[in-house]
Amino acid sequence: MINLESLLLELSNAPGPSGFENPVREIMKRELSPFVDSLDTDGMGSLIGIKNGPSNSPNIMLSAHMDEVGLLVRYITDEGFIKFQNLGGWLDQAIIGQRWQILTSKRTVLGITGIKTPHVMSTEERGKVFKGENLFLDVGAQNKVDAENRLGIKPGDPIAPVSDATRLNDSEFILGKAWDDRAGLAVLVGVMESVKDSDLPFNICAVATVQEEIGLRGAHTSSYAVNPDIGLNLESGVAGDYPSISQYEAQEKLGDGPAIFLHDSSMLPNLKLRDFVIDTAKASDINLQFNVLSGYGQDGAEMQKSFEGAPAINITVPTRYLHSHNSIISIKDVEKAIGLVRQCILQLNLEKIKNLKNFD
């Protein structure tokens, strides 16, 4: 049986900016391989594990993305400082004063985003948000040649946040980076373990996608590889249970169970599938939260749009402080999300799948 906490910590600590997900993919290969009949990658690097049903069975696709928001080396200044390109949706103020690791072909290089000391800032400067194009990484290099030759840094090298995951003061909460979407990956593994001995009338396609943070790219190709009949996307949700965020902006709370998105900027869920998940949660005595967001975008949208279209929904683990070096989830929410998705799978049959796809 998987140790869920250990898996969450390992997944959070693994570096995997968009386009450079290999360390996370290796963990997912190891974790999924006991529970699937085949394991392969598509042409972009998304990992596709299939638990086979009978011949010519429908495909139930479970997805979660491996990549995290990160940076990319743009160029090295003559003085040896690193200018960078964002990979994913960072707020500039979340980047300042943080530790990073540059994953070069030679070694891992530690760096920090530098900022002018407040001792010499004008009053006007102190009130400004520093723009990303003015930020840089300090890696302790003497100059450009030193950064290139000794440290092995070159343009295009990926840069991942440095933040060690840990239980937060012996609570149910876990502090770490990249819960978007390492929490979803842990749910994916937990679900596949929970149904490994179940005789199901369909194929379960467990997909760990790449490059979600820069345009849902891996979900696009993997959805066409799988051709899902039903899509369940496993994501980090947007918690709204802390100061400075309003209930209007986000409605999820940590510790209150998994949630489903009723709206985000990338998709609306299939209404029959929405009701099926709600009914399953009620029957399983699992508290289900709902979130209506103005923004966001997630891999379920690509499953929904593949081929002739498929019913899809986004099931989430509530998360505080997304897209930063430190975010928080509840391990109880992860456990409940596993239980909910498991029950959804066990309640599905060929007739229900056909009905979910029927608009007559």
Does the CA dihedral 328-330-34-38 come out positive or negative?
negative
Burial of 272 (0-12, 13-18, 19+ CB in 10 A): middle
Among candidate residues 10, 212, 213, 335, the one labeled active-site is 212
- SS3 state at 201: coil
Active site annotation includes 249: no
Tell me the C-alpha distance between 242 and 254, whole Å.
Answer: 10
- Distance from the Cα of residue 66 to its chain's centroid: 6
Tell me the C-alpha distance between 31 and 103, whole Å.
Answer: 24
Taking CA atoms, 183 is separated from 22, 83, 172, 250, in Å, by 17, 30, 14, 18
Amino acid at 187: V
**What's the length of the chain?**
360
- Crossing angle between the packed helical segments 179-194 and 22-32, to the nearest 10 degrees: 20
Phi, psi of 67 (to 5 degrees): -80, 155
CB-CB neighbours of 41 under 10 Å: 16
CB-CB neighbours of 283 under 10 Å: 10
Active site residues: 212
